Structure 1
Amino acid sequence: MIRDTAVIGAPRARAGSSRRQRGHRNPTDAWLLWMFFGWLGLHRYYLGDWKKGLAMTLTLGGLGLWSLLDGFFLTRRLRRINSGRL
C-alpha cells in the first residue's frame, strides 16, 4: 500500500499557495480595459472581482456612474492586489 504520494524531485507546494491567490496585475491592461470596456466591468473581472464585474455587466456600469467612479479608485485597487493586501 502506498502511503506517500509525493513524487521524488517534484517541487513542493508552499503553505498558503493556491490557485485562488491573485497574482500581479498589469496596470496598463487594467486601465485599457477600464477605458474601453469599463461600462461592461471587464476591468473588474481582470482584477478578480467577478461578482462586482457581473453586477456591472448587468447594470451597464451602473449606467456609467459606477464605471466612472472606478476610474478614481483603480490605481489604489491595483496597488493593493499587487502588494498582496486584498
Structure 2
Amino acid sequence: MDKNLIEQLILFNSDKLPRESLPYLQNMLIDMDTQIVQMRFASFKDPMTALLISIFVGTFGVDRFYTGDIGLGILKFITCGGFGIWWLYDLFVIMDIVRKKNYQILVSGISY
C-alpha cells in the first residue's frame, strides 16, 4: 500500500483510533491491500456521535448498543443507567471505548 495513502487514511481517521496505536498501524498497513484497508476504515463509528448519544439517551443504554455492547446496553436500560452512576461514568469513557472498538475492527480485519 502506498505510504501517502496510509498517512492520509490515518490522518483522516486519527480521531477515531487510540493515539497510542497510530505508529503501530502505519507499519502494519504497508503490506495490506488498499481495498481491504479502506473497507475497514469505512466501518468505523464516530466517537463524537457516541458521546452525543450518551449525553441524550445514555441512561437507556443506547450508547452501549451503538458500540456493540448489547448485553451491557440491556443491563444499562434495565437499571436506568446504573441509577445515573453508570451514565455519568460513560460520559467520560464512551469516546475511548469507541476508539478501541474501531482499532479492534481494523486489526481483526488485517490479521486475516
Category of TM-score, reference length = shorter chain: 0.5 to 0.7
Name 1:75's counterpart in structure 2. Answer: 95
> Would you say 1:26 and 2:26 are equivalent positions?
no
- Per-residue CA deviations over 1:18-38 (Å, capped at 9, x if unaligned) read xxxxx3111222111101001
SS at match of 1:24: coil
Count the aligned residue pairs: 65
- Per-residue CA deviations over 1:40-64 (Å, capped at 9, x if unaligned) read 0100000000000000000000110
- What value does the CA root-mean-square deviation take over the aligned residues? 1.9
Relative to its length, the structure with more helix (as a share) is 2
Q: Structure 1 segments of 4 or more deviating over 4 A?
A: none
CA contact (8 A) 2:53 2:62 kept: yes
User: Where does the alignment leave 5 or more consecutive residues of structure 1 unmatched?
Assistant: 1-13, 15-22
Name 1:59's counterpart in structure 2. Answer: 79
2:100 & 2:82 partners in 1: Cα distance? Answer: 24
Structure possessing the higher relative contact order (Cα contacts under 8 Å, 6 or more residues apart): 2
Name 1:36's counterpart in structure 2. Answer: 56
- TM-score for both structures, normalised by structure 1: 0.68
User: Where does the alignment leave 5 or more consecutive residues of structure 2 unmatched?
Assistant: 1-35, 37-42
The farther-off stretch of 48-57 and 72-81 is: 72-81
2:101 & 2:94 partners in 1: Cα distance? Answer: 11
Tell which structure's C-alpha radius of gyration is larger: 1
